[in-house]
Structure 1
Amino acid sequence: MKVSVIIPVFNEEENIEFLVKELNSYFKKEKRFSTEIIFVNDGSTDETYLHLKNAKHLNYSYKILSFSRNFGSHAALRAGILRAEGDFITFMYADLQDPLTLVSRMFDQVYKNGTDICWAFRNSSASTGTEKLFSRAYASLMRKYAVPNFPKKGFDIVLFSRKVKQCLDKNLENNSSVFIQILSLGFKQTSITYDKRERKRGKSKWTLSKKIKLLIDSFVAFSFAPIRLVSIIGLIFFIVGILWTAIIIVRKLVYDDLASGWPALLSILLVGFGITNISLGIIAEYLWRTLDASRKRPAFIIDEITEDTEVVEVKKPVRILKDIN
């Protein structure tokens, strides 16, 4: 039995030595399964790739997939899934805020219960107040409008079988969340809980702009709520407009006490154009993603692959498209 552990890395040179040391130490003791580690270098601009390449990987087989540029963590996870050879696949991160014991605990759960997916849900997190607020708001919105079984405290780690991997490989989505895609597949699932630890080295690359992109991607890819919101707002303004027109006509005919003027007209135009622009912006998000999918651009491009001590030069960039046979 083999477990593939995918670790995306982006400008994590200060963490690599600690990461490899912990991996060697932990998987030396793990005897229930063999381990394959897939490092995905997501276009790092520092010495991350060299540190990974020169590190002593002792107690596991490994691959290093190096992207031609930064494509994002979800693209890195998808690349790792595509190249994974294990019977089960899971994710870990270079800062090791999620303990390596999760790999064994999740493996025990799927093996014992005969399920295809095991989630590691957070009991607590070392995140700041702002990060916790964003996480809770994101989880609440996703449960209400997109995925009803989305966990309240969120998740970063999942282990799944090759059956799930085959589905993900056949439906490789750009601008989408791989976690929500797994959550929505419908296979038998189980879960464990854990406490997330503080980051010991380096700085988190999970910036505000990436969080906002994830929020937009999640809604556009898995929910029709934004488009329905446009329809509801349009209907409300239409009804208000009809009522306001009726009031104006009645007062003009009965009382003749309404003075015409540009302030009221300007207010109506500002509100009207504001709502129109918001609506068009939401629709444009869907149109852009439809256009992006129709172009069939690669979700990622692998520039170089290192397997154990052998470097495989990619003559032509590996273009991974949505449909994979």
Structure 2
Amino acid sequence: MEKISIIIPIFNEEENIDHLVYEVGSFFQKETRFTTEIIFVNDGSTDDSLSRLKKAHHHSYTYKIISFSRNFGSHAALRAGIQKAQGDYITFIYADLQDPLTLVIQLYNEMKNKAVDITWAFRNSTAATKWEKFFSSAYASLMRKYAVSNFPKKGFDVVMFSTKIKACLDQNVESNSSIFIQILNLGFKQANIIYDKNERLLGTSKWTISKKIKLFIDSFVAFSFAPIRLVSVIGIIFFLLGILWTGYIIIRTIIFNDLAMGWPALLSILMIGFGITNISLGIIAEYLWRTLDASRKRPVFVIDEIVGEVTQEKSVQEYLSISNK
């Protein structure tokens, strides 16, 4: 029987843990076509998430709990889960359950029916705010135009892939990068399904504006040469404008001699010039910093502990014994 590994990153989700474990156990208790492995990755939570995960009554699936030494980010958590996954297919679900568990079945069916290595779950609708939708739409548009042409218009949070993809990801663990775009860029046979995202029932989203900005920068610097090309284009444009402006001043001075030179014009030119220079240097510095970071070969994540795997049969027996008390 095939096994599906489901990776669930956890960061300060203590309000959701009990509900999450109950829903996952209840859902996969009825599944007979495959066995389920759940890999909880505690991404340096500072609340009681890890303790609650350890005390929770897991059933109907095997599980591991991986705990980081500190917060490394959700993409690092997903990469750690992929490395430890033992399933024939691997997918992601999140602690808030905004992505319904039925997605796992839909993705699995699509993988089998289409005989592909990657299946995406594209968002049809979300419960996001107007600003969140604007950010997602702008991010997707820029990614399609300058980085990945097949990036979906409404984005994605969930994907299922085979062990072939796992092997590629394990061999190329990228820091400061998007694991989703890395998978999208691999070029293997892909399919997709459409789904509606649910509202968050408990807790608050940890997807802050600073994390969104970091993802935006990481995505472009890691997968596109557009920012560095922008530096060259800006330089060429200002060079041509400078030539035209110099020619205008010379001709105007020769014919009319009516141009008054003063510090306001000089100051404006200096401010614009230095501003463009600093922006350009900042973009170049992003690439240089990532090159330095990669050369150091520092770990993308550091695992503090792993709670040993519990067999499915044992978990079911424990659950039944607890339920009968």
Secondary structure of residue in 2 paired with 1:2: strand
Cα offset for 1:271?
0.6
Cα offset for 1:181?
0.3
1:8 is matched with 9
Secondary structure of residue in 1 paired with 2:107: helix
Give the alignment of 1:163-178 within 5 angstroms: 163-178=164-179
Cα offset for 1:250?
1.2
Superposed CA offset, 1:7-56 (max 9, x none) = 00000111000000001101101111100000000000011001001111
Return 5+ residue gaps in structure 1 as ranges. Answer: 311-325
Whole-Å separation in 2 of the counterparts to 1:55 and 1:163: 33
Q: Which amino acid aligns with 1:83?
A: K
Tell me whether 1:69 sits opposite 2:55 in the alignment.
Answer: no
Secondary structure of residue in 1 paired with 2:285: helix
Tell me whether 1:60 sits opposite 2:61 in the alignment.
Answer: yes
Q: Which amino acid aligns with 2:150?
A: N
Q: Provide the alpha-carbon RMSD of the alignment.
A: 0.9
1:126 is matched with 127
Whole-Å separation in 2 of the counterparts to 1:112 and 1:260: 74
Tell me whether 1:293 sits opposite 2:294 in the alignment.
Answer: yes
Secondary structure of residue in 1 paired with 2:145: helix
Whole-Å separation in 1 of the counterparts to 2:272 and 2:160: 49
Cα offset for 1:241?
0.2
Q: Which amino acid aligns with 1:263?
A: P
Whole-Å separation in 2 of the counterparts to 1:24 and 1:144: 42
Return 5+ residue gaps in structure 2 as ranges. Answer: 312-325
1:227 is matched with 228
Tell me whether 1:268 sits opposite 2:269 in the alignment.
Answer: yes
Whole-Å separation in 1 of the counterparts to 2:275 and 2:59: 60
2:37 is matched with 36
Secondary structure of residue in 2 paired with 1:132: helix
Whole-Å separation in 1 of the counterparts to 2:260 and 2:70: 62
Whole-Å separation in 1 of the counterparts to 2:250 and 2:147: 43
Q: Give the stretch that moved more between structures: 257-266 or 289-298.
A: 257-266
Secondary structure of residue in 1 paired with 2:180: helix
Cα offset for 1:308?
3.6
Whole-Å separation in 1 of the counterparts to 2:44 and 2:202: 20
1:192 is matched with 193
Cα offset for 1:257?
1.5
Tell me whether 1:251 sits opposite 2:284 in the alignment.
Answer: no
Cα offset for 1:253?
1.9
Secondary structure of residue in 2 paired with 1:139: helix
Whole-Å separation in 2 of the counterparts to 1:92 and 1:309: 20
Secondary structure of residue in 2 paired with 1:5: strand
Whole-Å separation in 1 of the counterparts to 2:259 and 2:18: 77
- Identity of counterpart residues, as a percentage? 71
1:218 is matched with 219
CA contact (8 A) 2:177 2:222 kept: yes
Whole-Å separation in 2 of the counterparts to 1:252 and 1:128: 57
Secondary structure of residue in 1 paired with 2:158: strand
Secondary structure of residue in 2 paired with 1:29: coil
Whole-Å separation in 2 of the counterparts to 1:296 and 1:169: 15
Cα offset for 1:259?
1.8
Q: Which amino acid aligns with 1:52?
A: L
2:88 is matched with 87
Whole-Å separation in 2 of the counterparts to 1:37 and 1:257: 78
Superposed CA offset, 1:269-296 (max 9, x none) = 0110010011111111111111100110
Secondary structure of residue in 2 paired with 1:160: strand
Tell me whether 1:143 sits opposite 2:134 in the alignment.
Answer: no
State the number of aligned residues.
Answer: 310
Q: Which amino acid aligns with 2:189?
A: K
Whole-Å separation in 2 of the counterparts to 1:307 and 1:86: 16
Cα offset for 1:309?
5.5
